[in-house]
Amino acid sequence: MSTVYQSLFAKNVFVQFVRRTHTASLAAKSQLVFPPVCGECIVPSTCALNSCTPVQPVRSASTLNARPRLQQAELADSANASPEVFDYTAFFEEQLEKKRTTATYRVFRRILRDVNDYPFADDFSTGEPQRINVWCSNDYLGMSRHPKVRECARNAIDRFGVGSGGTRNISGNTLLHEALEHELASLHGKESGLVFTSCFVANEAALYTLGTLIPGLKVFSDAGNHASIIHGIRTSKAAKYIYRENDVGHLDDLMGSHASPENPKLAVCETVHSMSGDIVPLAGFLDVSAKHNALTFVDEVHAVGLYGAHGAGVAEELGCMHRIDAITGTLGKAFASIGGYLVGDRVLVDTIRSYAGGLIFTTSLPPPVLAAARASVAILASSEGRQLRAEHKKRVAIVRRRLQEAGLPAADVPSHIIPIFVGDAGVCNSISEDLLRNHQIYLQSINYPTVAKGTERLRLAPSPFHTDKMTDALVDSLVKVWRAHRLPLKH
């Protein structure tokens, strides 16, 4: 990071924050009463004691007569009600109907993964559970089931409890937080690290902070960047310029056309695009950024744990971590816990720590999550991690080759993510449903707005624990479903 930016962060002379006061007035507080439930019960049909009922929130007697705002229009006296009364229920139903008619209404699958039988899970979406093979999980290396990771989480619960107790500023900062931050910084070859509750929050909070803090900042962002990056830049109201996905030539042109040498600039990219499987030409991105004296912000969310000798990501694999100012990553994918983080120079990270509302005003990550993440990071940096990555890479190559040999439109991309293009939201949803119901294979459909209209796809993420037999079943099932939907196969 150049001395100009270091001085700016160190002095903090350009900061102006607008404090927002949130007020709320409640006419009556709703007290919820829960029936007793046994400690063994997660789903009623799996209750080992057979003695409990599903948890049902019940309003206490004092609030049974309370009327939600959504019903106010219906309850108003028709003779006195104004024709201007806004019908909230009708409005929300209309918005949902728009989603349904465009096949973009999201349905969350109800599954419970089996820690002793990865990558299988039980699907409860239709009531009675059925055993399914999960092919779309971001738990890429199965680390959530690793005995050492689970042991560390259990030990942390036994010693420290299940919650953190507060924000980082008020009793919620622990030695576990600081140890994990130190290890993540070391993993990426940086001076300092900062842990967030998710990488969505890490990206959004950091980019919002930089965009509001640096005077006259111009942000140059890849068109394929994640929603968290888009939100952070947009809410900062900094001037933004979008370059074509992975097109560093376009980035160079935009920087040359819209920013003079004295303008502060920030270039933002993801190394692995989560829905296309493409990998950024990182060296070119860094060359262009250096040419224009831009700070660099690189999201390695879908790369950490999977690339590089120690699992630090694409930048480690290419030997260019030292050229990046800020790197963000997640603890919730290959590292199989939850949370996000940012690493970089001490003064930059300390500035984010001091001004990012997404860090300051939220409860910190709890001890078992931190302990599990630390264990996972350490394992994936070791020889065991290198072996897992080698097996993972091999399985991805096998699955991609088998899909293409069968004539399925599996994209030939360099990462571990394999998109299978469909091109229609309704058909994509139908294929996913058919695979789950009739073939016990879980492949999630990906539709607009996650991807552009007309590029709807299935997103496949093989793991090292998917076998040849499982791969055969996947390919055979996909071919059958493809034909049933009268989609073409390439031969």
Q: How far apart are CA 430 and CA 274, in angstroms?
A: 22
- Bridge partner list, 328: 299, 342
Residue whose tokens read 């008020």: 170
Neighbours of 108 (CB within 10 A): 6
- Mean pLDDT for 195-211 is 98
Going along 361-461, which residue ranges are E strands? Answer: 418-421, 441-442, 445-446, 457-460
Catalytic residue among 190, 218, 265, 333: 333
- Walk across the sheet containing 340-344 and list its strands: 192-196, 340-344, 326-330, 295-299, 265-270, 218-222, 239-243
Q: Tell me what the pLDDT averaged over the chain comes to.
A: 89
**Both ends of the chain: CA-CA distance in Å?**
51
pLDDT digits (tens, 9 = 90+) for 403-441: 999 999 999 999 999 999 999 999 999 999 999 999 999
Domains (ranges, CATH) in the chain? Answer: 111-135+384-485 (3.90.1150.10), 146-381 (3.40.640.10)
Q: Look at residue 20 in the predicted model and tell me its pLDDT.
A: 36
Neighbours of 217 (CB within 10 A): 22
The answer to whether 266 touches 254, Cβ cutoff 8 Å, is no
pLDDT digits (tens, 9 = 90+) for 31-68: 433 344 444 555 544 554 445 555 555 555 444 455 56
Instruction: Reply yes or no on whether 190 is catalytic.
Output: no
Confidence of residue 27 (pLDDT cuts 50, 70, 90): very low
Closest CA to 30 of 66, 56, 54, 3: 66
Confidence of residue 80 (pLDDT cuts 50, 70, 90): low
Query: Comparing 230 with 60, which gets the higher pLDDT?
Result: 230
Query: Comparing 365 with 32, which gets the higher pLDDT?
Result: 365
- Bridge partner list, 123: 111, 130
Confidence of residue 128 (pLDDT cuts 50, 70, 90): confident
Contacts 24+ apart (CB under 8 A), 8-14: 8/214, 8/264, 9/347, 9/348, 9/350, 9/351, 10/347, 12/213, 12/351, 12/354, 14/213, 14/214, 14/215
Confidence of residue 491 (pLDDT cuts 50, 70, 90): confident
Q: Has residue 161 got a pLDDT over 70?
A: yes
Q: Look at residue 66 in the predicted model and tell me its pLDDT.
A: 53
- Bridge partner list, 33: 58
